[in-house]
Amino acid sequence: MSEIKLNVYPILLAGGSGTRLWPVSRELHPKQLVKFIGNESLIQSTIKRLDPLLDEKNFRIVCGKEHVHEISRHIEELGIRADEKIIAEPCGRNTAPAIVLAMLHVLHHEEDAVLCIFPADHVIRNTDAFHENLLSAIKLARMGYIVTFGIKPNYPETGYGYIESGGEIKEHAFSVKRFVEKPDMETAKRYVEAGNFYWNSGMFAFKASVMMKELKSYQPDLLKKMEQLDLSGSMVSQNDYERLPNISIDYAVMEKTDKSAVMPSDFGWSDIGSWKSLYDFIPKDADGNVIDGDVISNHTKNCFIMGYERLIATNKINNMVVVETPDSVFVSDMESSRDVKSIVEKLKQRGRSEYQKHNISYSPWGTSTVLEMNDDSTVEKLILYPGSELETKTDLFTRKQLVVIRGVARTTRDNQSGRLNKGESVMLSENQSVMVENVGDEPLNIIRITLTVS
């Protein structure tokens, strides 16, 4: 096991917005940060799945700049330091630039290394089988192959790309004949019947030196532009990054290289790409339902029902999806639930903020939830993480009151320190400020009332 841990870098791709899981997954809080199954977010589950096999110090996570703080918090909740593990993209440019960016970061520390690429928002049911395949993939990568994990299809799926395999090579892997686009239903049925087609999982293993050579052959312009990026800062230049081609690693390299190998895999994989795929993955109750939240169901069968704040009551429904969040409710028949993406587009076109964010905002210090907003007042619930602090200010036109409803706060105002216990408050008139710090071991809950005066 120690040999495997040497010189292997797990790269987690944590970009994307997960619009097919709206209203829970949104642009500023995508699905990899959501706790759909149990008490762990998808990115936390991905790290825990890899940690027994691969050294945690070698983890690297590529994500959008707006998600850095939340991903750091999720990593550190697992007891893993986030320092130097997160690589921020100033904008999304698909998987090829993301993978090359991570590879260039690794090559700053290593002369060569095996990189294992994993989307951070997928789930796997059989971890032992996954580990076996991963060990084989690493061995193949060390031999010079670019390995992709092909999932054995157990039904015709039109939402995935497919990989057609050729002859067997080593470690129970096969050569790759071709990558094919998402098929129609009849074509998908033929692929499943043929027996040598696999779902494209988006997981890879390769040596950095091998991938660099293939990039020089097939994507010299992309590689040249990326090698010119300044990697010394916390994030590369947005202007430079926006000029990169928006291209997947499949198009850029995998469909062209003769070094590719497909590892047939059957470990209960799902990309959780829709409410239906999440429903398919989670165990059901006696009526075939997946229910999470405050739900009363009557004559309800084969449904996915998830609630966050309000009571959901259902009566005589079948094969439905019902998802409630504080600001939105989504209702659909199960089979068409992936069409929620078109609803997100309509929200975007109409300038509705619900496509992008929840009424809860995430910050390095904690979260802010808008409870009520009028023309002349706003009421928010603030949750400060232990050890964090937040400054609140007023101007000529605002007045604010902060009321502690849970925990103990230390306040600093006009160079004077004090404490606020549960039920106590501080008032701010015009042009005043107060620094509030959570000095306890539990989250500090505060109600902040902002009044606008003429």
Q: What is the pLDDT of residues 24-74, one digit of tens each?
A: 999 888 999 999 878 899 999 999 999 888 988 999 999 999 999 999 999
Look at residue 234 in the predicted model and tell me its pLDDT.
81
341 and 227 in a single domain? The answer is: no
| Residue 32: Cβ-neighbour burial (10 angstroms; 0-12, 13-18, 19+) | buried
Look at residue 40 in the predicted model and tell me its pLDDT.
92
Contact at 8 Å (CB) between 383 and 449? no
207 and 279 in a single domain? The answer is: no
Where a domain ends, among 349, 370, 391? 349
Length of the chain: 454
Q: How far apart are CA 306 and CA 284, in angstroms?
A: 13
Among 285, 287, 281, 322, residue whose Cα is nearest residue 301: 287
Which residue has tokens 């040596």?
207
Is 178 inside a domain boundary? Answer: yes
89 and 185 in a single domain? The answer is: yes
Expressed as residue numbers, the domain containing 303 is: 275-349
pTM above 0.85, yes or no: yes
CATH classification at residue 373: 2.60.120.10
251 and 301 in a single domain? The answer is: no
* Residue 6 pLDDT > 50: no
Look at residue 5 in the predicted model and tell me its pLDDT.
47
Look at residue 28 in the predicted model and tell me its pLDDT.
87
* Residue 129 pLDDT > 90: yes
10 and 110 in a single domain? The answer is: yes
265 and 281 in a single domain? The answer is: no
CATH classification at residue 45: 3.90.550.10
* Residue 414 pLDDT > 80: yes
Helical (H) or strand (E) element with 97: helix 95-107
- Core vs surface per residue 422-431: b (16+ CB within 10 A) or e: eeeebebeee
Where a domain ends, among 270, 302, 324? 270
Helical (H) or strand (E) element with 406: strand 398-406
pLDDT digits (tens, 9 = 90+) for 64-112: 999 999 999 999 999 999 988 999 999 999 999 999 999 999 998 899 9
Look at residue 3 in the predicted model and tell me its pLDDT.
45
Q: Are strands 444-452 and 416-420 parallel, antiparallel or unpaired?
A: unpaired
Is 429 inside a domain boundary? Answer: yes
Question: What is the percent of the chain where pLDDT is above 70?
Answer: 99
Ramachandran sector of residue 236 (left: φ over 0; alpha: ψ -120 to 50; beta: rest): beta
Question: What is the percent of the chain where pLDDT is above 90?
Answer: 83
Is 431 inside a domain boundary? Answer: yes
Where a domain ends, among 303, 320, 349? 349
Q: Does the CA dihedral 411-413-417-423 come out positive or negative?
A: negative
Is 200 inside a domain boundary? Answer: yes
Is 297 inside a domain boundary? Answer: yes
C-alpha neighbours within 13 Å on the C-beta side of residue 210? 21
260 and 300 in a single domain? The answer is: no
88 and 180 in a single domain? The answer is: yes
189 and 138 in a single domain? The answer is: yes
Q: Does the CA dihedral 189-192-195-196 come out positive or negative?
A: positive
Look at residue 309 in the predicted model and tell me its pLDDT.
86
Is 355 inside a domain boundary? Answer: no
110 and 155 in a single domain? The answer is: yes
Is 354 inside a domain boundary? Answer: no
- The strand ranges marked E within 82-196 are 86-89, 114-119, 123-124, 146-151, 162-168, 174-180
Confidence label for 320 from pLDDT (cuts 50, 70 and 90): very high
Is 82 inside a domain boundary? Answer: yes
Domain count, the chain: 3
